[in-house]
Structure 1
Amino acid sequence: MIKTIIFDFGNVFINLDIEGSQEHILKSFEIESLSEEMIAFNSFYEQGLISTDEFLEFHTENFPKLSNDEIIDIWNFILKDFPKHRLDFLKQLKSDSNYKLILLSNTNELHIDWIKKHIPIYEEFKSYFDTFYLSHEIHLRKPNHDIFEFVLNENKLNANECLFIDDNTDNINTAKSLDFKTWNINPATEDVSNLFKTKSNLF
């Protein structure tokens, strides 16, 4: 029986343009692909292992034509809108059910700063969760096993009583390997607000 629902943030609640962002980054940086060093720095930043200043310094040193503000705009290009009906769904879920609600997101400081500034419902959204985990604050990231084990241990949960919802297949596969129930949501064709219709077999 499902007792806890663990939600991803991007492409579950807030819309992302992952492909468009990748194209925009390559075009803006005038490169054909991200170097291993860039990928590593981005991962460190997402885990809060380097500061925003260090993150920006790395990129302005490697791309001196670009200012800090331009780097920030490029980095935040991925973030789009937050449809209100998803907030309404979450509010109703919190009101009508006894499920423990957890957010588990790979999110960095610059993205959260943008969201706080441009998504006025963010604080209300956050208030409906029993626990709210952002990778840069807990220094762990998906799809690594340790972040899932951290959530289980911190909240004294059994994985087989948890439903994990994420659009990233690698994250879903790790959760499955630990015995979570899962929904690998397709943001192009599915919406989290239809949870109980789409995944009625789990409830």
Structure 2
Amino acid sequence: MAINTIIFDLGAVLIDWHPHHLYNKIFTDSAQRDWFLENICTNDWNEEQDGGRTLAEGTELLVKQHPEHEVNIRAYYGRWAEMLNGPITGTVEIFKALKDSGNYKIYALSNWSAETMEIAFSQFEFLDWFDGMVVSGIEKMRKPEPAFYQLLLNRYNVEPGQALFIDDNMRNIIAAKNMGIDSIHFTTATELEQELRMRNIL
């Protein structure tokens, strides 16, 4: 079946989001920065907020566990906007070309806190270009849970075999493929463009 639907992840695909952008300002030593993000403010902890736990609850829980790191823990969401380093321009240009073609419905499927999503919307106008968006913090479920993908498919009447999913996390790519959704593991905008041209989508 021909592809008629494109599903984008947001962070690290369209938006240059990474905790390093903030914690490079806090730690002068990259090894200390990496240790903090691997052992204190971890990806697993952040994903609980992406899954619907409030930022306040997640922060207080971690401060209680690691009081000696309180200042740096509170910076995670207190200075969260500093983790945004602008759009990934090449991918946004691809998004615009796909949108302008009129050939595709384009949706976002993102693990993102409902609270920090508001900050992103205030900074990136292209977030208004989507035909629809499913955000984990709002839905209280997240990738790679199959039900999260199915929610988007059901809500927007998307056939898995007619959709293409783009994400930087291989875990999420595997989950999409297991549901019959063709997928591209995002690395760079240049490689994404090549993959889309090979599929005759661009």
Q: Distance in 1 between matches of 2:22 and 2:173?
A: 22
Label 1:29 to 1:183 Cα distance change in 2 as closer, same or farther (>3 A). closer
Q: Distance in 1 between matches of 2:171 and 2:116?
A: 21
Note the C-alpha offset of 1:201: 3.2
Note the C-alpha offset of 1:104: 0.6
CA contact (8 A) 2:142 2:148 kept: yes
Structure 2 gap ranges (5+): none
Q: How does 1:123-134 map to 2 (within 5 A)?
A: 124-134=125-135
State the Cα deviation string for residues 73-104 of structure 1 (Å, max 9, x = none).
57666432214454344334323223111001
Label 1:43 to 1:198 Cα distance change in 2 as closer, same or farther (>3 A). closer
Q: Distance in 1 between matches of 2:147 and 2:81?
A: 27
Is 1:93 the counterpart of 2:94? The answer is no
Number of equivalent positions: 193
Q: Distance in 2 between matches of 1:62 and 1:26?
A: 22
Q: TM-score, normalised by structure 1?
A: 0.76
In structure 2, what is the equivalent of residue 13 of structure 1? 14
**What secondary structure is seen at the aligned counterpart in 1 of 2:12?**
coil
RMSD: 3.3
Label 1:32 to 1:56 Cα distance change in 2 as closer, same or farther (>3 A). closer
| Pairing partner for 1:201 from 192, 198, 202 | 198
Q: TM-score, normalised by structure 2?
A: 0.77
In structure 2, what is the equivalent of residue 107 of structure 1? 112
Q: How does 1:161-172 map to 2 (within 5 A)?
A: 161-172=162-173
Label 1:11 to 1:30 Cα distance change in 2 as closer, same or farther (>3 A). closer
In structure 2, what is the equivalent of residue 56 of structure 1? 59
Structure 1 gap ranges (5+): none
Note the C-alpha offset of 1:109: 3.7
Q: Distance in 2 between matches of 1:99 and 1:33?
A: 39
CA contact (8 A) 1:175 1:182 kept: yes
Q: One-letter code of the match for 1:46?
A: D
Q: How does 1:28-177 map to 2 (within 5 A)?
A: 33-34=38-39, 41-48=45-52, 50-65=53-68, 66-67=70-71, 69-72=74-77, 78-109=83-114, 111-116=116-121, 119=123, 122=124, 124-177=125-178
Percent identity of paired positions between Structure 1 and Structure 2? 23
Q: One-letter code of the match for 2:8?
A: F
Q: Distance in 2 between matches of 1:80 and 1:162?
A: 29
State the Cα deviation string for residues 21-74 of structure 1 (Å, max 9, x = none).
899698369759437x966543321111x2222112112222334247524257
**What secondary structure is seen at the aligned counterpart in 1 of 2:85?**
coil
